[in-house]
A and B are shown apart, each in its own frame.
Chain A
Amino acid sequence: DAKTTQPNSMESNEEEPVHLPCNHSTISGTDYIHWYRQLPSQGPEYVIHGLTSNVNNRMASLAIAEDRKSSTLILHRATLRDAAVYYCILTTGGYQKVTFGIGTKLQVIP
């Protein structure tokens, strides 16, 4: 399965936008790009996903590069509740072989 690479950690000031990058240079044409986040001592929570086009929902936006080899999760205004580990994963035909990497630990500074 294609792998993803993310920075280990990032910081953001509260109420500022946050751009979380993910590289997936070996992505295949059928791979979907998913983002999940995990708050401390909780299970992962779905954030957003996409295939080729940019996506928006109430939580975030997903910007996908034209060649699909990278993507960026955008939190428009970071809050303290957004402090979590953010995972970028790829899936094709379900989650059967998915491994979430160590993700990006986002720290939000008041």
Chain B
Amino acid sequence: DTAVSQTPKYLVTQMGNDKSIKCEQNLGHDTMYWYKQDSKKFLKIMFSYNNKELIINETVPNRFSPKSPDKAHLNLHINSLELGDSAVYFCASSRSMGLAGGEDEQFFGPGTRLTVL
């Protein structure tokens, strides 16, 4: 069974469109994340979501909005897509946020390659 799954694997769309990427984890984890990996291969966290509490990275444009219908799902909705949004987006999960120390390991999904034309 896939621990963290994402759909779709590839997404090609036009500028200005709105799109969503879905993520599901079957690990029973409390915390989920979205990362963006750009063309230079830097992987940067966008959001983390823990038990209905969303923690937003201040550098992420508000065109990006995560939505979590339940603890096992964290979807990423992107409005008014721009060329610069082209990247690979990874979803991840961890048992907890690691705030108490111990820093739980993250499990990553296979990624969604978004291409904006």
Contacts and interface: CB of A to CB of B under 8 A. Distances in A.
Contacts of B57: 96-97
Interface residues of B, number: 27
Given A34-B103, A46-B106, A95 B90 contact: no
A96 B45 contact: yes
Interface residues of A, number: 26
B86 to A, nearest CB: 16
A99 B59 CA distance: 12
A99 B55 contact: no
B111 A42 contact: yes
Given A32-B98, A44-B90, A96-B57, 9 more contacts: A42-B110, A43-B92, A43-B108, A44-B108, A87-B43, A95-B33, A96-B55, A97-B45, A100-B43
